[in-house]
Structure 1
Amino acid sequence: MRISWIMILLVVILAAPAVQAQTDPAPKLYRWTDKDGKEHYTDSLPAEAVDAARAELNKASGSTVSKVERAMTDDERAQKAREAETAAAAAKIEADRLQNDRTLLSSYSSESELQKTYSERLILVEESVKSAQVGINSQRGSLASLLAHATDRELAGQAVDARTLENLGDAHRQLGEQKHALQRREAERKDLQNELDDLLARYRELKANPPAEPEAAARQTPVPKTGA
C-alpha cells in the first residue's frame, strides 16, 4: 500500500512540468519594419516599433499569430478623412437624386399632368411680367409729363419749383425699381421654364427606365462573402 502511494506521488511529480508546459503561453516573437524599411525580429516590442507595421509570431512554430499595419501619419489621416467626407457627400447626392426621381414619378401620373401643373405656374408668372411692364409704361408716362412741365417752365424763363424737381427724382427712382422688378419676374419665368424642360426630360427617362424600389434594390445588392 505504501509503495502504491509512492508511485502515485512520483507520477504526479513527473507530470507537473508537462502540465505546466501546456498551460504556459507560447513564447512570442515580433517581426517589425523600421522607418528605413529594415526588418527586425525581437522578443519584445521596442518603443520605436509601436507605430510600425509588425507581426506577432509563435516563437516555437514560427507561425503568424496576428498582424498590425503601421500607424498612419497626420497627413494620411487627414487625406483619409477628406476621402470619407467626399464619399459621404457623393452618397448623399445619389440618395437625394433617387428620392427626387421617385417623388417625380409618384407626383405626376403622366407627362401631360406635369406640363399642366407647370403651365399654371407659368401663366401666373407671365401675368406678373405683364403687370410689371404696364407699371413701367405708366411710370414712363408720368416721368415724361413731369419733364415736359419742367421744360415748359424753363422755356418760359421760369424756375422749376422744388416740388417738381422732387417729383422728377421720385419718378426716376420708381422707374428704376420697376425695371428691376421686371427683370426679376423675367428671370423667374426663364428659370421656371428651364425647370419644366429638365423635369420633362428626366420624367421621360424615368418612364423608360424606372428606378428600382428600395426593397428591390436592397435585394439586388450583393452581400460580401466572409472568409471561412
Structure 2
Amino acid sequence: MTRSPLLALVFLGLASAAHAQTAPASKKLYCWNEGGRKVCGDALPSSAVDAARTEINAKSGMATSQVGRALTPEERAAAAAQAKADADNAAAEEAEHRRLMAMIETFATEADLRKAFGERVSLNADAMKTARMGIDGLRQSLVALLQRAGEMELNKKPVPKKLAGDIRAQHDQLLVQQAALVTLQSQAATLQSQLEDAVARYRELKPQAAVAATPAG
C-alpha cells in the first residue's frame, strides 16, 4: 500500500508528539547545607525537606530555583502577627482616608472644615487640661502622704500598712494619669496632622472654594 506524502507527514508528526509526551523530564540535583557542609544529591532526604536548598538542572548544570528554609512555628506565628498588624494598619489608614474624603465633601468652605477640626481640637485641649489638673492633685496628695511617712520614720515609728498602701495607690493613679496625658498629647499632634492633610486634600478637590477662603495678601 502506497502512502501519500501528506499522510506520511501526519504520521511523523504524531510520532514526534508521542515521543515528546513520553520523554522523561529533566532530572534535578539538590544542594543544601547539612552540619555546616554543603551536600548535593539527586534525591532530597526527609531530613532536608525543610532546609534551604538550590535546585539544579542535572543536564545543564544551571541552578533553576532557590527554596528558602521552612519557618519555625514561632517564626510563622510572628509572621502571621505582623501580617495582621500590617493589614489592620492599612485598614485603619483606608478608613481614615474615607472619613477625610467624606468630611471634605460635607463642608462648603475651608473655613467650615477648619471649624469642625477646631471643635475636636478644643475637646482634646479640655481633656488635657483636666488630665493636668488631676496629675497636680495626685502629686500634691502623694507628696503629703510621703511627708507623713517620712516624719514617722524620722521619729523611728513604723509606717502603718494603710499609709503605705495609700502611697502605692496614689503613685499608681499618678502613673495612669500621666500615661493618659501622653496619649492626649499624641492625639493632639495627630489632629494637627489630620487637619493639614484635610485642608490640602480640600484645596485639591475644591480649588475655587479654597481660593475664596484664602486671606488676601
The TM-score with structure 2 as length reference comes to 0.52
> What is the Cα deviation at residue 46 of structure 1?
2.9
The equivalent of 1:48 in structure 2 is 20
Identity in percent: 28
Cα separation, partners in 2 of 1:170 and 1:104, compared to 1, 3 Å: closer
Contact 1:104–1:203 (Cα < 8 Å) also in 2: no
> What is the Cα deviation at residue 157 of structure 1?
2.0
Q: Please state whether the residue corresponding to 2:111 is helix, strand or coil.
A: helix
AA at the equivalent of 2:20: E
Contact 1:142–1:171 (Cα < 8 Å) also in 2: yes
Distance, in Å, in 2 between the alignment partners of 1:105 and 1:142 is 47
The equivalent of 1:136 in structure 2 is 135
Q: Please state whether the residue corresponding to 1:158 is helix, strand or coil.
A: coil
The equivalent of 1:16 in structure 2 is none
> What is the Cα deviation at residue 48 of structure 1?
3.2
> What is the Cα deviation at residue 49 of structure 1?
5.7
> What is the Cα deviation at residue 187 of structure 1?
0.9
Cα separation, partners in 2 of 1:162 and 1:201, compared to 1, 3 Å: same
Contact 1:132–1:181 (Cα < 8 Å) also in 2: yes
The equivalent of 2:51 in structure 1 is none
Structure 1: runs of 5+ lacking an equivalent:
1-25, 31-40, 51-74, 76-92, 211-228
Cα separation, partners in 2 of 1:153 and 1:200, compared to 1, 3 Å: same
The equivalent of 2:170 in structure 1 is 171
CA deviations over 1:32-80 (Å, ceiling 9, x no partner)? xxxxxxxxx8247437369xxxxxxxxxxxxxxxxxxxxxxxx9xxxxx
> What is the Cα deviation at residue 201 of structure 1?
1.0
> What is the Cα deviation at residue 208 of structure 1?
3.0
Contact 1:108–1:114 (Cα < 8 Å) also in 2: yes
> What is the Cα deviation at residue 170 of structure 1?
0.7
Distance, in Å, in 2 between the alignment partners of 1:104 and 1:209 is 17
The equivalent of 1:36 in structure 2 is none
Distance, in Å, in 1 between the alignment partners of 2:108 and 2:21 is 66
Contact 2:135–2:177 (Cα < 8 Å) also in 1: yes
The equivalent of 1:15 in structure 2 is none
AA at the equivalent of 2:197: D
Distance, in Å, in 2 between the alignment partners of 1:190 and 1:198 is 12
Structure 2: runs of 5+ lacking an equivalent:
1-5, 23-64, 66-90, 210-217
The equivalent of 1:119 in structure 2 is 118
Distance, in Å, in 1 between the alignment partners of 2:19 and 2:131 is 78
CA deviations over 1:15-47 (Å, ceiling 9, x no partner)? xxxxxxxxxxx98x88xxxxxxxxxx8247437
Q: Please state whether the residue corresponding to 2:206 is helix, strand or coil.
A: helix
> What is the Cα deviation at residue 191 of structure 1?
0.7
Distance, in Å, in 2 between the alignment partners of 1:116 and 1:125 is 14
The equivalent of 1:194 in structure 2 is 193
Distance, in Å, in 2 between the alignment partners of 1:152 and 1:102 is 61
CA deviations over 1:72-128 (Å, ceiling 9, x no partner)? xxx9xxxxxxxxxxxxxxxxx9xx79x948634421111001000010011011101
Distance, in Å, in 1 between the alignment partners of 2:163 and 2:147 is 11
Distance, in Å, in 2 between the alignment partners of 1:170 and 1:133 is 18
